[in-house]
Structure 1
Amino acid sequence: MPRLPFHRRHLAAVATLLPALLAPTFVRAQAVGAEPATIETTRSFEVRGGYTGGRFSHSTDDFHSSISLFGGSGSSRTGFPVEHRYDGLMLGGDYVLAQHRPDRPSITTLRVGLDVLGAADRLRIGDGRRATVALLAAHPHFSFELQRHKWQTRVGVGMLVGRVGYYGQDQGFDLLATNTVVDTVNVVPTFSLEMNWNHWVQYEAGYGANGLLGLANPTYYGGLGTGFGPRSPLALVVGVSSAASLAYNQAVSSFAYSRLTLAPAGRPWQASAFATFGSAQYQRVALQVGYKLPQKGAPGAPR
């Protein structure tokens, strides 16, 4: 049998020294494993202001027979068309809380804000009458944003409360007829969904257009666009929107719109513009500018 290079006394020495040699490594590994993961938290406040204006129309009360027990067409009365031309302003702000863990490629952002909107609505009724109505509403809102890898998704909800605008609805009138009533809107829920892939592909959909564009005549909207790449400060979205009470002889109508956003990287400000086209009966334009106040960052608590 070949002779082993180590004697028993050598093995005993190695067994004695091995724990002492591995102890520092074990202590360091234990310290690294016990270190809690930190969460980087950034708090900021954003202020903004904007202008919105446009025109649309609806009708005064329409009464017509929907059921006739005697086989006739029943009585009918066509309502007068009412044209609206309005100009309004918006002021608001958001509290923004962003959290990021260095060991995970994701950023979550929470926004809580309040907008105040006011407008002068100038009415011209088909029988020659004219009037000016003041619109005033508040828009508390909340949104959650998740950015992971190259994907960015934001969901927002809110509520327009006040004298928001106008709408038409059909109300029952005994068993023989219906009555179309045009009235003011006092509460309008708002919803928005935005998705972005690497600032190349952008999608948006919602109702009320996040408050600013919902004043006077809230609308549904959906659009698709591009941001021209991750280094571009521009983003363009083109879509279709539908609103109620656009024309006195139509219940709902659709129109095209475009939205342009300018947000230079590293700058505290951004701007956006909105305009409709393709409809002579419905026109809307809006401009908005936002500014982010200096940030205050603080490391979060251990998980």
Structure 2
Amino acid sequence: NQSIVTTFIVLGLSSDTHLQFLLFVLFLSIYVIALLGNLLIMAAVLSNSKLQRPMYFFLFHLAMVDIIGTSTVIPQMLGNLVAVRKSISFPRCIAQLYFFTWSLGAEMVLFTVMAYDRYVAVCHPLRYSIMMNKTMCMGLSALVMVIAVINTSVHTGLVLRLTFCGPNIINHFFCEIPSLLVLSCTSVRINEVMSFTTDIFRFSYCFIVRAILRIKTTEGRRKAFSTCSSHLIVVSLYYSTVIYTYIRPASSYSFNKDKIIATLYSLVTPTLNPIVYTLRNKDVRQAIRKMLPHLGKRKSGALVL
């Protein structure tokens, strides 16, 4: 006899008690850094008139999406690290899947929009203010939200049509599409096709690199790469890990390895984003100094940022 699963058991990253304590401290630290870093960026963009430009407008949205993504995953993970029974109800699992998939999709589309912004800045500098006007920015922002909602609604709906009749053990640290597909008692072929279809549209930065390489002067290429390098680093890490996880069939998942990879795009990248964009951006550093002047100087008078 088969019964419908109403509760899942989440195994997490490790069953070792001592290691769980270290992981709790580590991921709590990561969460605090990600939360404070992204809140700082949002506050800096809102409070400084110099940051009222398209690049920072999208950076503000990226910080907001990162906060939602990490807050969807890490608190639940921290709770499981200290809980005796690491369970999550089916509705809560689906809710976590929905919001994480939304943040994942929104971030990837935002990277595409930021890629377009940098492409215009590099290849059409004289027309930049016209091409990236306020109306265009608001339209692109709305487009990001619409695509993210449609994307997560489709994927969550496809998961809801599946039947889960046991086992109910999720070999992961949160509810994610791949971790649920392997537990389905029904065919997941449509889910896999949709994941593959959405992933093939996620190579947005390729045209930026091609455009940069077409710049004739060495000095021009150097300045262009200097402008886009931080974006390229973050996107390369994010896209490669997400595509690796979502583009494969459920039968090929190896969760002992895939859980480590999942930490890169669900935890590490949202933490790195404020660090990368702050350290390499003079305007953001200056805005944060004005907000928090005591962070801009050490006792010796040397600058921290």
Superposition TM-score tier, normalisation by shorter sequence: under 0.3
- Rg bigger for which structure? 1
Q: TM-score, normalised by structure 2?
A: 0.24
In terms of fraction of residues, the more helix-rich structure is 2
In terms of fraction of residues, the more strand-rich structure is 1
Q: TM-score, normalised by structure 1?
A: 0.24
Structure with the bigger RCO (C-alpha within 8 Å, sep 6+) is: 2
